[in-house]
């Protein structure tokens, strides 16, 4: 893949291994994008800068919050599938793959500009450093002036070399392809690196995503493909995604403090032997404004083709509040476990919107342990409802619009 390096800054990063690289396309975009003029966005005037595709520079590329020359905030737009690095290629070798880091300043806005195909994909071997703050989060959305839509762009994708029970364990035999993104983008692989980091996501919002690429092929708000526990993911909010809020395909990455609001399919989905931990989660389900009913709060599987495939999924979930705010139909059961998954749930409160439903649907190939549960739905497997269950009710760092 051709390197997109036109000018290289001399400032060396603290790690001593990478320089700050500028792509040299236009000074109004601080040399990392194509200047497309000023746009009304997010209730203000922004500089619009298209990101190049792909970005494979083997160095660090910085996306700034503001234009240094124009003194205005930047909205970095995704003109299609923006691929960071070249590790999506089949049979990529971890030893030789591109190691680009995309570093995003706190408060930066990133917007999908193409409804059917715009997404940010961090490929195997590359990393993202998206570190916002509670008062200045990094926000991904569509390119309009609100956060009320869904399916208006794709989503954020991280891919790694960690283990997936769907992928072969022999090097050079990549077969796992990212769904809904690109039929030629691969993840996992025969050199399972369960300790290789895909970077850091902190105080990040992903809104209005989940565009449909093909029938039954949408993009999740954030998708983690074989991402390892060396990756840091804290304080994340996914809102109004047309597909799942977050989905994990194998790997063992953990998430701490997660808000999922108004997502139109499942809120949390894991597959392919996922073995990470999810802690402090607040889920708000609704009916999508169309009387269709929310899907599951948790739809969990191990391997859809072979429930006995190893390693079996065995994620842990701790401190959860689940509520349903729809008015025209009933949601699906909160817990749907299938195809060989194991799961552990501790300190979960299920709101009154589920009181007329079963709490769970667990198939014969799967198992779960539940402790400290507060609920009014019906179950033969949950322990007695406990008034001491507290869930996770803390308000998000980002003010999401109300569900439709």
The whole-number pLDDT of residue 179 equals 86
pLDDT digits (tens, 9 = 90+) for 62-82: 999 999 989 999 999 999 999
Percent above pLDDT 70 for the chain: 92
pLDDT digits (tens, 9 = 90+) for 129-177: 999 999 999 999 999 989 988 999 999 999 999 999 999 877 778 999 9
DSSP secondary structure string, 103-145?
A: EE-TT-EEEE--SSS-EEEE-TT-EEEEE--SSS-EEEEESSS
Phi-psi region for residue 240, left (φ > 0), alpha (ψ -120 to 50) or beta? left
Is the pLDDT at 10 greater than 70, yes or no? no
The whole-number pLDDT of residue 16 equals 44
- How much is the pTM? 0.94
N-to-C CA span, the chain = 43
Higher pLDDT, 11 or 190: 190
Higher pLDDT, 395 or 292: 395
The whole-number pLDDT of residue 373 equals 98
Written as six digits, the tokens of 120 are: 């940010």
For 116-141, letters b (16+ CB in 10 Å) and e give: ebbbbbbbbbbbbbbbbeeeebbbbb
H/E/C letters for each residue in 44-94?
Answer: EEEEEEECCCCECCCCEEEECCECCCCCCEEEEEECCEEEECCCCCCCCCC
The whole-number pLDDT of residue 12 equals 31
The whole-number pLDDT of residue 212 equals 67
Average pLDDT, integer, range 50-66: 95
Residue 19 banded pLDDT, cuts 50, 70, 90:
confident
Is the pLDDT at 347 greater than 90, yes or no? yes
Q: Which residues contact 144 (CB under 8 A, 6 or more apart)?
A: 41, 152, 208
The whole-number pLDDT of residue 213 equals 60
Domains and CATH numbers, the chain: 7-374 (2.160.20)
Is the pLDDT at 34 greater than 80, yes or no? yes
C-alpha to C-alpha distance for 367 and 238, rounded to whole angstroms: 28
The whole-number pLDDT of residue 168 equals 83
Is the pLDDT at 7 greater than 70, yes or no? no
């Amino acid at each position: 893949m051709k390197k997109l390096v036109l000018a290289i800054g001399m400032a060396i990063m603290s790690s001593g291994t990478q320089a700050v690289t500028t792509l040299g396309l236009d000074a109004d975009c601080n040399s990392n994008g194509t200047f497309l003029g000023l746009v009304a966005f997010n209730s203000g005037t922004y500089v619009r800068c298209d990101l190049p595709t792909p970005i494979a520079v083997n160095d660090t590329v910085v996306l700034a919050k503001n234009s240094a020359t124009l003194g205005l905030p930047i909205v970095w737009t995704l003109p299609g599938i923006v691929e960071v690095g070249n590790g999506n290629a089949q049979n990529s070798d971890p030893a030789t793959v591109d190691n680009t880091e995309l570093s995003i300043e706190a408060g930066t806005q990133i917007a999908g500009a193409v409804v059917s195909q715009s997404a940010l994909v961090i490929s195997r071997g590359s990393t993202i450093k998206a570190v916002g703050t509670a008062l200045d989060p990094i926000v991904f959305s569509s390119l309009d002036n609100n956060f009320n839509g869904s399916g208006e762009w794709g989503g954020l994708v991280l891919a790694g070399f960690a283990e997936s029970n769907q992928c072969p364990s022999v090097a050079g035999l990549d077969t796992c392809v990212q769904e809904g993104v690109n039929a030629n983008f691969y993840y996992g692989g025969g050199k399972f690196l369960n300790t290789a980091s895909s970077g850091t996501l902190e105080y990040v919002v992903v809104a209005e995503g989940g565009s449909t690429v093909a029938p039954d092929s949408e993009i999740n708000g954030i998708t983690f493909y074989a991402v390892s526990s060396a990756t840091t993911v804290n304080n994340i909010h996914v809102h109004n995604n047309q597909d799942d809020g977050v989905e994990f395909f194998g790997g063992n990455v953990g998430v701490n403090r997660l808000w999922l609001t108004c997502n139109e399919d499942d809120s949390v989905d894991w597959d392919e032997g996922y073995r990470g931990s999810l802690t402090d989660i607040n889920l708000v389900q609704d009916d999508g404004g169309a009387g269709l009913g929310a899907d599951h709060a948790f739809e969990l599987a191990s391997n859809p083709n072979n429930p006995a495939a190893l390693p079996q999924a065995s994620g842990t979930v701790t401190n959860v509040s689940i509520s349903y705010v729809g008015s025209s139909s009933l949601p699906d059961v909160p817990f749907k476990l299938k195809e060989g998954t194991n799961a552990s749930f501790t300190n979960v409160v299920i709101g009154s919107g589920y009181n007329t439903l079963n709490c769970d649907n667990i198939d014969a190939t799967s198992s779960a342990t539940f402790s400290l549960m507060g609920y009014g739905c019906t179950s033969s497997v949950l322990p007695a409802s406990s008034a001491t269950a507290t869930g996770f009710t803390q308000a998000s760092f980002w003010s999401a619009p109300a569900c439709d």
